[in-house]
Amino acid sequence: MEVFYNLPKKVIFCKKCVLSNQRPSSVPEFQHKKDRKGAKYLNIDLNTGICDACKVAEQKDNKIDWNKRELELQKLCDMHRSKNRDYDCIVPGSGGKDSVYASHILKYKYGMNPLTITWPPILYTDYGYQNFKNWIEVGGFDNLTLKPNGKVMKTLTKLSIENLLHPFQTFILGQKNLAPKIAQKYNIPLVFYGEPESEYGNPIADHSKSLRGSEYYSMNNSNEIFLAGCSLKYLEEKHNLSIKDLSIFLPMDKKELEKTDIQIHYLGYYKKWIPQEAYYYSVENSNFSARPYRTQGTYSKYSSIDDKIDDLHYYTTFIKFGLGRATYDAAQEIRNKHLNLEEGKLLVKKFDGEFPDRYFSQVMEYIDMNEEKFHELCDAFRSPHLWIKTNKGWKLRHNVYKEGYDD
């Protein structure tokens, strides 16, 4: 049976949460190609049946000395604290709960003077934009926002859907590549992101260090780069996008990075990161507001709500990997002991794969694609080892609640 995207052929679910080994690990976004050759996926211990993300949660609860980690954070801040009232660190974000929490605690608990920087969502939601304003105006921060060339953004977003079924790639490129460039330009070498990706399924070894690997935001040469699944040469020849047009989407040159003292740290290495607590903190300290209604595809209201494309992004992960938004939400809430496994399975059964039609027509209008074409793309991106087409439509071969076609 054919398997797409270099996925594991056999679907295995973690015994403690609702994730499967089809969950992709993070890769340098500028090297993302359709075949995902060399990509890694969530590791599940064949002896215990437990995934790396659940093992990280166990370490957080039982093995990490958080008081010691906080002293390390204090020392790091003291080393970089500005003596002349300049900015002493950078916190990227768009005003979601995590960027609010990170910037606010660094400023008001640890005495730092962060410059917040924003690569705006592709299509802001009304409440997402209000949260952004509240972050800056109520939370009290200076902010540098860089809005990319709209023509280029639209072209790359459409191509990323056509070639990768990845509506969110252009936002991720900016979110990950902008901060080190601003750090270089303004000579602010300390950058903080929120929680490490190992909390959600990247290799467990990543959780043993605070630094983000430079391979995620620097390159050796431009031949390594693929945007929306296309080489830079192809984008120039077929879409008339020059290297100057694309430069803001590109990572730093590795040789240039090596001349700097830039360090990108995960605040979640030093502080025990719990999404729900970050939400409550942001409500209290910046008037953060959840969605006024349930997010389609899941049961929650407060996570990844800035961009109208967010919902469609999680729908496409359901198509490509058999894991939708309710799976991701339930998995982290099980690990944080806010749900038990059976509750998580029921929520996945009820909400995973729900089509997000609330903003769908607006997204299609933005990229100039008809709705039928999008659904055809979805069908073409379904891996045969995950999906089967029946007389009642598409059905997953395996799911966590054991009602798949082959379960």
Strands, sheet with 263-266, edge to edge from the N-terminal-most edge strand: 142-145, 114-118, 89-92, 190-193, 263-266
pLDDT at residue 337 in the model? 96
Residue 24 falls inside a structural domain = no
Q: What does the alpha-carbon distance between residue 75 and residue 162 come to, in Å, rounded to a whole number?
A: 47
| Residue 236 shares a structural domain with residue 101 | yes
- Token pair in block for residue 18: 């609702």
| Residue 305 shares a structural domain with residue 222 | no
What is the per-residue DSSP string for 104-155?
HHHHHTT---EEEEE---SSB-HHHHHHHHHHHHTTT-EEEE-PPPHHHHHH
| Residue 346 shares a structural domain with residue 388 | yes
| Residue 256 shares a structural domain with residue 353 | no
pLDDT at residue 224 in the model? 85
Instruction: Show Cβ contacts of residue 148 under 8 Å, excluding neighbours closer than 6 positions.
Output: 119, 170, 174, 248, 249
| Residue 256 shares a structural domain with residue 311 | no
- Token pair in block for residue 210: 């605070």
Query: Within 10 Å of residue 203's Cβ, how many Cβ atoms?
Result: 15
Separation of CA 132 from chain center: 18
| Residue 72 shares a structural domain with residue 183 | yes
Residue 174 falls inside a structural domain = yes
What is the per-residue DSSP string for 238-250?
HH---HHHHGGGS
Residue 10 falls inside a structural domain = no
| Residue 331 shares a structural domain with residue 253 | no
Residue 256 falls inside a structural domain = yes
| Residue 172 shares a structural domain with residue 312 | no
| Residue 263 shares a structural domain with residue 352 | no
- State which residues form the domain around 330: 295-394
pLDDT at residue 37 in the model? 79
pLDDT at residue 222 in the model? 86
Asked if residue 191 lies in contact with residue 183, where contact means CB atoms within 8 angstroms, the answer is yes
What sign does the CA torsion over 26, 407, 380, 150 have?
negative
Q: What does the alpha-carbon distance between residue 47 and residue 309 come to, in Å, rounded to a whole number?
A: 39
Residue 380 falls inside a structural domain = yes
User: Which of 255, 270, 285 delimits the end of a domain?
Assistant: 270
Residue 340 falls inside a structural domain = yes
Mean pLDDT per 10-residue section of the chain, whose length is 407 residues: 94 98 91 83 96 95 96 97 90 95 97 97 95 97 96 97 96 94 96 89 82 92 92 96 95 94 96 95 96 95 93 97 97 96 98 97 97 97 98 96 96
Asked if residue 153 lies in contact with residue 170, where contact means CB atoms within 8 angstroms, the answer is yes
Q: Where are the alpha helices (DSSP H) in 3-125?
A: 52-62, 66-80, 97-108
Residue 185 falls inside a structural domain = yes
pLDDT at residue 1 in the model? 86
| Residue 92 shares a structural domain with residue 132 | yes
Q: Report helix, strand or coil for 76.
A: helix
pLDDT at residue 155 in the model? 97
- With b meaning 16 or more CB within 10 Å and e meaning fewer, what string describes 232-265? beebeeebebeeebbebbbbbeeeebeeeebbbb
Work out how many domains the chain is built from and give that number. 2
| Residue 243 shares a structural domain with residue 95 | yes
CATH code of residue 93: 3.40.50
pLDDT at residue 208 in the model? 83
User: Which of 270, 285, 315 delimits the end of a domain?
Assistant: 270
Q: Report helix, strand or coil for 164.
A: helix
Length of the chain: 407
For β-strands 114-118 and 393-396, DSSP reports them as: unpaired
Asked if residue 92 lies in contact with residue 179, where contact means CB atoms within 8 angstroms, the answer is yes
Q: What does the alpha-carbon distance between residue 28 and residue 216 come to, in Å, rounded to a whole number?
A: 5
Q: How many helices (H) and strands (E) does the chain have?
A: 16, 11
Residue 279 falls inside a structural domain = no
Nearest to 312 by CA among 218, 148, 304: 304
| Residue 348 shares a structural domain with residue 251 | no
In 3-state terms the chain splits into helix, strand, coil percentages (rounded to 5) of: 45, 10, 45
- Token pair in block for residue 63: 């093995």
